[in-house]
Chain A
């Protein structure tokens, strides 16, 4: 299987097929990240699409390293742009998630628990947990993506993970 950097190099030379493969590989991560950052799936896919369109335009600037971290950084910046435009309108919307009928109740329950628990976190913790825990960026990569100090990232992740576990445990008890 071809590596992400190989595909990125081909995409930089204009190969749409190579870029389509990158989109296929990373769409889950980027769409999930968008949804978690916005806490409203209405904007999430727009942000995810904008992320890949920007990535296509800037693929020549990808200088190796983890492609996941590179695309996650773009996704975070797209989220910031949308948030700057819509900040007053962002609020938690319980009806935003459309649940397909073919999922089992257990799957749906886990997913809702996870989403609900994440949405309960303060924004900075939610961002850090989304980047480091959900998108698997290292703390250093998350610090580069957000521009926040490394210590701040570590602190938000530690507190966010603890709070997330607490909320998940509370949901399971209830």
Chain B
């Protein structure tokens, strides 16, 4: 006789108790949280992608000026704007800290979440 057979009656009692607990709201709650997590992940990936695209775009004028000869005044004004932004960020390190935390959080979430 298997060990499990000696307590089949108790198992049946527990199973009956478990069956009473089954409820649709629980399934909906779990699936709702899964969908919310997936949505959040997509949002974070989109924000990360947008950040990366902006970063790449910020380098574009200089690249274009070097390679195809973009109008010098346009290049100068864009580069000046970039310098102003970085000077503003340097003046208040809090912004750099916030940017670092946001970046790290995005990286962590994107790494941990399943595809």
Q: How many residues on B have C-beta within 8 angstroms of the other chain's C-beta atoms?
A: 28
Which residues of B are found within 8 Å of A39, using beta-carbon distances?
A: none
Provide the bound-state CA to CA distance between A157 and B18, in Å.
Answer: 20
**Which residues in A have their C-beta under 8 angstroms from that of B15?**
28, 134, 136
Q: Is the C-beta of B71 less than 8 angstroms from some C-beta in chain A?
A: no
* Closest A residue, CB atoms, query B115: A14
A49 to B27, CA, bound (A): 9
Given the complex, which residues of B lie within 8 Å of A111, measured CB to CB?
17, 20
Give the total of A residues in contact with B, Cβ under 8 Å.
39
By the criterion CB–CB under 8 Å, are A23 and B21 in contact? no
Contact of A31 among B4, B11, B26, B37 (CB under 8 A): B26
Q: What are the residues of chain B within 8 A of A126 when measuring CB–CB?
A: none
In the complex, number of A-B residue pairs with CB atoms less than 8 Å apart = 87
Chain B binding site: helix, strand, loop or mixed by DSSP? Answer: helix
Task: Please name all residues of chain B whose beta carbon is closer than 8 Å to the beta carbon of A136 when the two chains form the complex.
Answer: 4, 11, 15
A23-B11 CB under 8 A given contacts A28-B22, A157-B3 = no
**Contact flags (1/0) for A43-77 with B, using CB distance below 8 Å?**
00100110011001111100000000000000000
A20–B27 CB distance below 8 A: yes
B10, B23, B37 interface centre (most CB from chain A within 10 Å):
B10
Chain B residues with CB under 8 Å of chain A are 3-4, 6-7, 10-11, 13-15, 17-23, 26-27, 29-31, 33-35, 37, 113-115
Report which A residues bind B (CB closer than 8 A).
14, 16, 19-20, 23-24, 27-29, 31-32, 45, 48-49, 52-53, 56-60, 103, 107, 110-111, 114, 132-136, 138-139, 154, 157-158, 161, 164-165
Given contacts A28-B15, A134-B15, A157-B7, 19 further A-B contacts (CB under 8 A): A27-B22, A27-B23, A28-B22, A31-B18, A32-B17, A32-B21, A49-B26, A49-B29, A52-B30, A53-B30, A53-B37, A57-B114, A110-B13, A133-B7, A134-B10, A134-B18, A136-B11, A138-B4, A158-B3
